[in-house]
Every structure is written in C-alpha cells, then in structure tokens.
C-alpha cells in the first residue's frame, strides 16, 4: 500500500481532493476459493500426521482461511476491503454453524424415520401390537384433534385480546394485560400441563386423563403467542386507514372488522399458524394431561388419547421387544410431526401471499 | 345540500394543553374557505375539530360552540359517526384502502356501513363519484384493480371520490396537495373549483398561492410562540386578504416576510 493517505483526521477534511484516490489491486475472483482449498489441504495434511479429527479439521481450516484471506487482502487491497472480507467470512461461518444442527436433525430424522414411513403407519393403531408392525394412526388423529381444539380455544381469545390492546386498551388494564402476556410467553410448558391437571382435579377429581385437558394446557401456551403476533400486525396497520374510515362516517367497530383486520389478515394468519406449529410438538404437558393409549380414541372428553410427541417418547423410552420396531416407529412419528409443522409453515406462507394487499 | 358552519368562541384542547383559542368564524355554503398559517398554529386541529376527527386522539376535547346549519355538532346526543357522515374529509397523504379495488374504495363509505343498495345503483354512484373527481376516464377500464397501484395524484382523487360518494354536506381537506407534484396539484385544484358548486369546502394549505388560486375566503391562523395556543388572526375575502389585510401579521405572512 503506497497511497499518500493523510495522517490526521483534520488533514483528511481540510485537504481538497485534487486527485482521484488510487484504487489498490483486487484479489482474483478465484482467490478466496483458492485460499480455502489451500487451507483445507494444509490442515488436512498436518492432521493426517497426528491423527484426523473432523471437528478439529473444520475449526483449523476456518481459522487459517480467515487469517490468510485477511492478510492477503490487506497487502493487495488495503485495510477496509480486508476487513470487509474478514467480516464476510465470519458472518458466513456463523450462518453455516447455525444451519448445521438443523440440517443434521432433518437428515437424521429422515434417514431413520423413512424406515417405517409406510401406509401401515398411517392406517393402523398400536392396538394389540406387541412387536413389529402397527402404526400411529391413533397418535396422528390425537395430535390433530388436541391441537385443533387448542387452536379453536386460543385463536378467538388471542385475537380479541390483541384487538383490545391495540385499538381500545388504555391505562392500567392494558398495561397489566401486556405484562401478563409477556409473563405467559415465558411459562415452561410443563407448568401449563400442571395447571390443566390441577384445574381438572377440581372439576372431575384427581387422576383424570382427557384430551381436552391437553388442549387446555396447549392453549395456555398458545394464547400469548397469538396475542403477540396479532398485536404486532395490528400495530403496523397505518393510522391513516383508520382515519380514512372514520372520516367516511364508519363506526370504530366496523372500521376494525372491515378495514384494520383485512389489512393485517395475512400477517395474523401467518402468526396463528406459527403459534400452532409451536405447540403441536409439545410433549411434557401432554404426557401428564392426556397420557397414552394403544387404541384409537377420537373423543377428547373421554379417556386417554395418543399424540405423536408422547407416542414417540414412549416408543423410545420404554420399548418392547424387538426394540428396533419401537425405535423405528418413534423416529417415524418424529418425521410425521416435522412434516406437519413444515406443512403448517407452507400454509402460513400461502395464506400470507393470498391475503397480502396487492398493488397491481 | 351544501351547509354552513358557524364556530363560536371555540377552544380546542389536547388534554390540558390549549391548542386553539377562541375561534369565531362563519363558513358560508358553496364557498371554498382556505385556512393558512405557519406550522403548529392549529389550523389542522381546527379542521379536524369540525368533523370531530380530533377525538380519535385520547384526551382531545373542545369548548365553545360549533354548528352545522344551526345544529350544535358537540351537543348532547350527537354521534360523532353521523357528524363525519355529513362532513367528509380528505387527508394530506392519499390513503386508499389497500385491500380494496378502485370500485370498492369508492363504494367503501356505503359498504363499510352495510347500507343495502342494489348493484346497479352502486354502479351509478361509483361512476358519478369518479366522474365528479375527474378520475372516471382514467380508471373506467380497471375498476377491479387495487387502488394502491395508481399514481399519488390519482390516489388522492380516488380519496376525494370516496369522500363525496357518501354525499356529505361539507368537505374538509387537510393539505390535500402537499404530497403531490404540480400537475396533480393542478388537477385537484380544478376539481375543488368544480366541487364548489355542490359542496362547502374548507381547505388547509401551506401554499399561499394555492389559497389565492382556489379559495373565496381565507382565514389566517397564527401562534405567538411555542406552547401558546393558535388563534384566528383575520378572516376575509381572499382577494382582500392578499392585497390589503387589516392585520400587520397577516400582511407579513402573505407577503412572505415570515413563515
């Protein structure tokens, strides 16, 4: 670097720019990839001498790569671009690091879950099955029924609470609701389960196991998420639209129902779907409220039900003989759960796209 | 159809803050009244008080009397919703409803109130409103398209069409051209001139040439200092206000000596 950069900040400001600042050299396009390959080769070679380890290899390669690119760029391109390259490498590295567990989970569940991903799994319950075979029809239905019930209870409460907070709430009551919604967001899921158990111990006596109990536990977890999501969406509806509606002589309630909600519906629907996706995989509260059965029970108001998370947990934690048959079913149940959540996310995106305000 | 508005000793508060003090003015039917003055002088607040829109802000209230054809708008038993149906408003930034098409935007005033109206009658009403807003020729082939896809000037005319579709007696305009380019501004000003035949129009503007061009009567609001209430300094025929105002402050303002 041989530019005649001014030494002090004052000169940098005072000196008029008489010549166009000289641009230093630029690393060749393949430069960073070449450095990466060289770093990997070097580290791989060195590790081969002392014994190979994949984690050490990745770590050392990344470090060497970053330092080498920085130094090379610093010599040729100057300090600012070298810093830019270093930060780019750091950010990309952090992203890959964050992605690694996700990819690992998906790949593992896919590989192990596909073992029993067959029609039988979706059509049979575990009734009378001791060893291989059987399926999780009862658990899939149980999960859908209980989560559906939870959604039916939570969505109106959450939606109306959010409308109150954004459109009507003033003063102490609104502040209290906001505070308790925040507190509820942080409730451990087992506490929600214990709440449902305690509640039903009062009404139907201790030791009850019902689908509706699980639904109530899940809705305790779901309501604050729905409130938060809806609140954020309602807040970003421009006030001008409300005023435009008021100025047409439209009452406040009609303005909310016919102008504010339709404008925000895409975001609200997406938020609700994500809230459902969040509670559908809950295990702990369902374990203590709904329990598990081997037979199909579609009535959430009578007796135990099976759910996918609990089914998966018990199949893995206390398998029968042969063990593999149970473990395989556990993985497949997990896979089905992931597919349901993925499906919900896709639905949320679809809803958001369909309802989003259009400009053309 | 067009009505007169009479304000008597009107004070407007935000909480305990007195924003506008002691305004007395008469607005005649089928005239264009311009309200001018420096920023923060209370002219928009006064405008919003005329159809009780300022009540949307918590703590806002008025003292004094404001009458529409002799009916006290703030009297007991008067619903602000019905007041706003009689006194329409156009805002500074065009604000068509983003979820609705051009047609639905114009029909919004009736649709949102669930007024029962036959499809054919609604078509007639929409066309008439769009024609009145000089927008029909530009949009008649794309009534089903979203209103948000039009230019700023077209959107503002759509908002005017939406406001007059509910057939108000008075039309309030809060700096309707300040977000528009000169050509769109001209279109709106021409429109104001035509609408004058049917409506009483009150327009707040920062643009004194605009006030001189479109209005019959001009009111000048001023403020003595920050935190002091705004006051109506002078109100007279526009010609007189811009040539030989009675007050020194008005002359300073309209001649560009301050503000």
Comparing CB atoms, the residue among B53, B146, B159 nearest residue A358 is: B146
Torsion of CA B138, B144, B146, B149, to 10 degrees: -30
A163 has a pLDDT exceeding 90: yes
Dump the DSSP string for A35-50.
Answer: HHHHHHHHHHHHHHHH
Q: At A16, is the pLDDT very low, low, confident or very high (cuts 50, 70, 90)?
A: low
pTM for this one?
0.81
The predicted pLDDT at position A2 comes to 47
Dump the DSSP string for B229-257.
Answer: PEEEEEEEEHHHHHHS-SSHHHHHHHTTS
A270 to chain B, closest Cα gap in Å: 17
Q: At A1, is the pLDDT very low, low, confident or very high (cuts 50, 70, 90)?
A: very low
The predicted pLDDT at position A13 comes to 58
Cross-chain Cβ contact B97/A359 below 8 Å:
no
DSSP one-letter code for B146: B
Per-residue pLDDT, averaged over A234-262, amounts to 92
Tell me which CATH code domain A120-355 carries: 1.10.3720.10
Per-residue pLDDT, averaged over A304-312, amounts to 93
Which of chain B's residues have a Cβ under 8 Å away from the Cβ of A238? Answer: 95
Q: Which domains does chain B have, with CATH numbers?
A: 5-97+168-254 (3.40.50.300)
Are residues A221 and A186 in contact, defined by beta-carbon separation less than 8 angstroms?
A: no
Distance CA A165, CA A175 (A): 9
Per-residue pLDDT, averaged over B81-102, amounts to 91
Lowest mean pLDDT among A22-26, A88-92, A325-329, B41-45: A22-26
Cross-chain Cβ contact B97/A241 below 8 Å:
yes
CB contact burial B10-30 (16+ within 10 A = b; e otherwise): bbbbeeeebbbbebebebeeb
Comparing CB atoms, the residue among A170, A250, A360 nearest residue B112 is: A250
Distance CA A288, CA A207 (A): 10
Lowest mean pLDDT among A19-23, A236-240, A279-283: A19-23
What separation in angstroms does the CA of B63 have from each of A191, B47, B72? 54, 15, 12
Distance CA A200, CA B232 (A): 68
Q: Does A171 touch chain B (CB under 8 A)?
A: no
Cross-chain Cβ contact A357/B98 below 8 Å:
yes
Per-residue pLDDT, averaged over A124-149, amounts to 90
A269 to chain B, closest Cα gap in Å: 15
A-chain residue closest to B87, CA distance: A247
What is the percent of chain A with per-residue pLDDT over 70, rounded to a whole number?
Answer: 92
B-chain residue closest to A259, CA distance: B97
From the CA atom positions of chain A, what is the Rg in Å? Answer: 29
Are residues B222 and B36 in contact, defined by beta-carbon separation less than 8 angstroms?
A: no
CB contact burial B87-117 (16+ within 10 A = b; e otherwise): bbbbbbbbbbbbbbbbbbbbbbbbbbbeeee
Per-residue pLDDT, averaged over A41-47, amounts to 88
Domain boundaries, chain A: 23-108, 120-355
The predicted pLDDT at position A218 comes to 96
A15 has a pLDDT exceeding 80: no
Query: How many residue pairs from chains A and B have C-beta atoms closer than 8 A?
Result: 86
B141 has a pLDDT exceeding 50: yes
B193 to chain A, closest Cα gap in Å: 22
Cross-chain Cβ contact B88/A248 below 8 Å:
yes
What separation in angstroms does the CA of B68 have from each of A1, A138, A265, B153, B200? 78, 69, 39, 30, 11
Burial class (CB in 10 A: 0-12, 13-18, 19+), A222: buried
B-chain residue closest to A360, CA distance: B149
B-chain residue closest to A237, CA distance: B98
A4 has a pLDDT exceeding 60: no
Q: At A180, is the pLDDT very low, low, confident or very high (cuts 50, 70, 90)?
A: very high
Per-residue pLDDT, averaged over B138-154, amounts to 88
Per-residue pLDDT, averaged over A132-155, amounts to 93
């Amino acid at each position: 670097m041989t530019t005649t950069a001014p030494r002090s900040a004052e000169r940098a400001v005072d000196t008029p720019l008489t010549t166009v600042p000289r641009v230093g050299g630029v690393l060749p396009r393949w430069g960073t990839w070449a450095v990466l390959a060289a770093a990997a080769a070097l580290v791989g070679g060195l590790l081969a001498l002392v014994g190979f380890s994949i984690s050490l290899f990745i770590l050392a390669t990344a470090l060497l790569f970053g330092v080498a690119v920085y130094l090379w760029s610093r010599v040729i391109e100057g300090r600012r671009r070298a810093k830019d390259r270093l930060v780019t490498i750091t950010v990309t590295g952090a992203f890959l690091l964050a992605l690694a567990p996700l990819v690992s989970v998906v790949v593992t569940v896919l590989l192990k879950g596909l073992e029993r991903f067959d029609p039988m799994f979706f059509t049979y319950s575990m009734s009378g099955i001791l060893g291989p075979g059987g399926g999780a029809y009862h658990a899939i239905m149980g999960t859908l029924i209980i989560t559906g019930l939870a959604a039916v209870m939570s969505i109106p409460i959450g939606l109306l609470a959010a409308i109150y907070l954004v459109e009507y709430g003033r003063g102490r009551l609104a502040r209290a609701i906001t505070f308790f919604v925040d507190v509820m967001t942080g409730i451990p899921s087992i506490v929600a389960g214990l709440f449902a158990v305690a509640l039903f111990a009062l009404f139907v006596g201790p030791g009850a196991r019902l689908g509706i109990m699980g639904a109530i536990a899940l809705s305790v977890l779901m309501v604050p998420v729905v409130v938060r999501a809806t609140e954020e969406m309602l807040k970003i509806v421009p006030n001008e639209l409300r005023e435009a509606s008021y100025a047409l002589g439209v009452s406040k309630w009609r303005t909310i129902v016919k102008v504010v909600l339709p404008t925000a519906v895409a975001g609200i629907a997406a938020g609700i779907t994500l809230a459902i996706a969040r509670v559908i995989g809950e295990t702990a509260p369902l374990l203590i409220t709904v329990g598990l059965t081997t037979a199909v029970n579609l009535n959430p108001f009578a007796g135990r039900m099976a759910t996918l998370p609990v089914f998966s947990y018990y199949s893995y934690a206390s398998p029968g003989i042969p063990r593999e048959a149970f473990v395989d079913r556990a993985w497949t149940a997990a896979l089905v759960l992931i597919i349901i959540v993925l499906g919900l996310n896709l639905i949320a995106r679809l809803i958001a796209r369909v309802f989003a305000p259009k400009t053309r | 159809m067009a009505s007169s508005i009479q304000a008597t000793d009107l004070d407007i508060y935000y909480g305990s803050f007195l924003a506008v003090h002691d305004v007395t003015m008469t607005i005649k039917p089928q005239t264009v009244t311009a309200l001018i003055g420096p920023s923060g002088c209370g002219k928009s607040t006064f405008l919003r008080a005329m159809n009780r829109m300022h009540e949307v802000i918590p703590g806002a209230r008025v003292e004094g009397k404001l009458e529409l054809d002799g009916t006290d708008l703030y009297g007991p038993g008067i619903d602000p919703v019905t007041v706003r149906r009689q006194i329409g408003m156009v805002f500074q930034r065009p604000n068509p409803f983003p979820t609705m098409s051009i047609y639905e935007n114009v029909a919004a005033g009736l649709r949102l109130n669930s007024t029962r109206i036959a499809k054919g009658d609604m078509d007639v009403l929409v066309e008439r409103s769009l024609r009145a807003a000089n927008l029909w020729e530009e949009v008649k082939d794309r009534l089903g398209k979203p209103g948000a896809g039009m230019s700023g000037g077209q959107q503002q005319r759509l908002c005017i069409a939406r406001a007059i579709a509910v057939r108000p007696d008075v039309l309030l305009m809060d700096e309707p051209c300040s977000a528009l380019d000169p050509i769109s501004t001209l279109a709106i000003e021409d429109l104001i001139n035509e609408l004058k035949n049917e409506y009483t129009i009150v327009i707040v503007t920062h643009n004194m040439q605009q006030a001189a061009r479109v209005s019959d009567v001009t009111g000048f609001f001023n403020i003595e200092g920050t935190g002091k209430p705004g006051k109506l300094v002078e109100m007279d025929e526009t010609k007189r206000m811009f040539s030989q105002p009675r007050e020194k402050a008005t002359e300073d303002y309209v001649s560009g000596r301050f503000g």
